[in-house]
A and B are shown apart, each in its own frame.
Chain A
Amino acid sequence: MNNDRTAALTKKNYKPKRSSFKELLQRNRDSGGYLFRKNVGHWFFVFVRGVLLFGLCFLILQPLLNKIALSFMSEADIFDPTVHNIPREFTTDNYTMTALLMTYWMSLRNTFFLTLVIAFLQVAACTFVGYGFARFKFPLKNFWFGCVMVLILVPPQTILSTLYLHFYNFDVFGIITFFRGLFFTPAQEGDVLGPLNLLGSPLPYLMMSATCMGLKNGLYIYMIRQYFRNVPKDIEEAAYVDGCGKFKTFYAIMLPDAKAIIVSCFLFSFVWQWTDSLFSNLFLRSMNVLSSTVGTLDESLTDYFISNYGRNAFPSLGYQQQIVATGMLMFIAPLILLYLVAQKGFVESISQSGIKM
Chain B
Amino acid sequence: METVKTVETTDSRQGKKPLSMPPQKGGLAGKIQNLPMNTKNAIAGYLFISPFIIGFLAFMFFPMLESVRMSFSEVTMDLATARFSLAFTGFENYRWVFRVDPEFMRLLTEELRNMAFSVPAVIVFSFFVALILNQKFKFRGVVRSVFFLPVILSAGVMLGLENSNALLRDMQDLVRESNAMTSTITGVLEDLIGRTGFTFMDVLLEYVFATINRIYDIALISGIQIIIFLSGLQTISPSMYEASKIEGATAWENFWKITFPMISSLILVNVIYSVIDYFVRSDNRVMAKVTGAISGDVAYGHSFAMAWSYFGIVIVIVGILALIISRKVYYYE
Contact = CB atoms under 8 A, between A and B. Distances in A.
Nearest to A53: B143
Contact of B152 (A131, A211, A336): A336
A311 to B, nearest CB: 23
A211 B54 contact: yes
Contact of A163 (B44, B63, B282): B63
A129 B45 CA distance: 9
B243 to A, nearest CB: 15
A221 B52 contact: yes
Nearest to B266: A357
Contacts of B166: 317
Nearest to B148: A347
A188 interface: no
B215 to A, nearest CB: 7
In this complex, the interface size class of chain B, counting residues with CB under 8 Å from chain A, is 35 or more
B45 to A, nearest CB: 3
B235 A213 contact: no
Interface in A60-82: 60-61, 63-64
Q: Is the interface of A mostly helix, strand, loop or mixed?
A: helix
Contacts of B269: 357
Contacts, number: 254
B62 A212 contact: no
Interface string B132-166: 10010100010111111111110111101110011
- Of the listed residues B42, B63, B227, the one surrounded by the most CB atoms of chain A closer than 10 A to its CB is B63
Given A151-B60, A161-B294, A355 B231 contact: yes
In this complex, the interface size class of chain A, counting residues with CB under 8 Å from chain B, is 35 or more
A275 B158 contact: yes
A239 B38 CA distance: 17
B1 interface: yes
A350 B227 contact: yes
Contacts of A221: 52
B65 to A, nearest CB: 9
Contacts of B276: 152-153
A246 interface: yes
B157 A129 contact: no
B280 interface: yes
Contacts of A272: 155-156
Contacts of B46: 132, 138
Contact of A354 (B48, B132, B235, B318): B235
A128 interface: yes
A202 interface: no
B55 A352 contact: no
B157 A335 contact: no
A148 B53 CA distance: 10
Interface in B57-79: 58-60, 62-64, 66-67, 70
Contacts of A159: 60, 63-64, 67
A210 interface: yes
Interface string B180-224: 000000000000000000000000000000000001100110000
A158 B307 contact: yes
A141 B45 contact: yes
A208 B42 contact: no
Contacts of A138: 41-43, 45-46
B228 interface: yes
B247 to A, nearest CB: 15
A185 interface: no
B122 interface: no
A243 B22 contact: yes
A165 B160 CA distance: 25
Contacts of B4: 237, 240-241
A330 interface: no
Interface stretch (A18-26, A31-39, A338-346): A338-346
A139 B42 contact: yes
A198 B235 CA distance: 46
Interface of B: 1, 3-4, 20, 22, 38, 40-49, 51-56, 58-60, 62-64, 66-67, 70, 81-84, 129, 132, 135, 137, 141, 143-153, 155-158, 160-162, 165-168, 215-216, 219-220, 227-228, 230-232, 234-235, 265-266, 268-269, 276, 279-280, 282, 287, 290-291, 294, 300, 303-304, 307-308, 311, 314-315, 318
Given A137-B42, A158-B67, A241-B4, 10 more contacts: A136-B44, A148-B52, A157-B287, A160-B294, A163-B63, A172-B58, A278-B156, A350-B231, A354-B235, A355-B228
